[in-house]
Amino acid sequence: GSTLKAAAESDGRYFGTALTDADLGVTGETTVAGTQFDMLTPGNEMKWDTTEPSNGSYNFGPGDQLVRFAQAHGMRVRGHNLVWQSQLPAWVRNLPLNQVRSAMESHITTEATHYKGQVYAWDVVNEPFNADGSLVGDVFYQAMGSGYLADALRTAHAADPGAKLYINDYGIEGENAKSDALYRLAQSLLSQGVPLGGIGFESHFVLGQIPADMRANMERFANLGLDVAVTELDDRVQLPASGSALQQQSTDFGAVVRDCLAVTRCVGVSQWGVDDAHSWIPGAFPGYGAATMYDGNDQPKPAYGAALSAL
């Protein structure tokens, strides 16, 4: 195919991107988003700090705008996310622990009901693990222990039984202490009948550091009966990016796309953002950037060609 989405669809997969509300006003970027990609993840607008900034008062306007953009461009939506320690308003962090469960369940029920039928998948729990495989000691863990994950998944399933329910994390792309812990958790959840449907591998990579065992690692989760997806792909480069760095980046993108295609239950790949000008990387990792397939003028980089020809 001549676009990422057409090529992915010919393999029975999708190719997604992330957009924020602010991006919707940027012409070149939205043109690429709407023509090249068939899955949309709201970059921030479905997170708790936007959707329930104070207890019981909800704000779905920004997320709704992105859903409308997706629908107008034939894109499905990955809902991101329902429960996360980050971008979590202070009112939740400061709740008495005996009120956290009901706040979490209300939040999940209200948001997943609002978007029922409009999201293909939900990242129900985002980034629950530390690098050593222990669970992050956030307010949800403090209140409920590890049982909060099962509770969150069950609550989301009750609100929108049609959405695929994911746990999404970074640093789990290869086999390591963190992905091993997630694997054991997934086994345990499935054995209890918890409606876990997929694992999201964020895939925020550093140039040249795609784990050689990414394919095998995704395969072991797929073999549990789960979907797997590359949910937030980018590949950051030390700035200024040299020509050889951009060549290595094309090798990296090709490898990730081929790893997904090699796993039957890898449903698709999403890049985190459209272009280098609007990527989160320079803000989050000073000195790094050039992390996407499109340059700052929305021209395709070598990584675009590599991704397309891998599909």
Tell me the closest approach of the beta carbon of residue 119 to ligand XIL, in angstroms. Answer: 15
Among 17, 36, 44, 179, binds ligand XIL (CB under 6 A): 44
User: Residue 163 corresponds to which tokens in the numbers above?
Assistant: 């959405």
Amino acid occupying residue 299: Q
- Annotated catalytic residue 127: yes
Tell me the closest approach of the beta carbon of residue 284 to ligand XIL, in angstroms. Answer: 7
- On whether the CB atoms of residues 281 and 291 are closer than 8 A, the answer is yes
Tell me the closest approach of the beta carbon of residue 122 to ligand XIL, in angstroms. Answer: 13
How many residues are there in the chain?
A: 311
Among 16, 43, 63, 195, binds ligand XIL (CB under 6 A): 43
Catalytic residue among 45, 127, 173, 202: 127
H or E element in which residue 270 lies: strand 266-271
Whichever of 262 and 284 has its CB closer to ligand XIL, that residue is 284
- On whether the CB atoms of residues 202 and 232 are closer than 8 A, the answer is yes
User: Contacts with ligand XIL in 195-224 (CB under 6 A)?
Assistant: 202
- Annotated catalytic residue 232: yes
> Dihedral of CA 299/301/303/304: which sign?
positive
Angle at CA 57, nearest 5°, toward 51 and 63? 25
- Match 């394919």 to its residue by tokens: 215
**C-alpha closest to that of 287 among 252, 239, 245, 246:** 239
- On whether the CB atoms of residues 129 and 168 are closer than 8 A, the answer is no
Whichever of 5 and 204 has its CB closer to ligand XIL, that residue is 204
Cα(109)–Cα(81) distance, integer angstroms: 13
Tell me the closest approach of the beta carbon of residue 279 to ligand XIL, in angstroms. Answer: 8
DSSP type of residue 161: T
Whichever of 44 and 250 has its CB closer to ligand XIL, that residue is 44
Among 17, 36, 126, 292, binds ligand XIL (CB under 6 A): 126
**If binding is defined by CB under 6 A, does position 155 make contact with ligand XIL?**
no
Where in the sequence numbering do the catalytic residues fall?
127, 232
Contact residues for ligand XIL, defined by CB under 6 A: 43-44, 126, 202, 232, 280
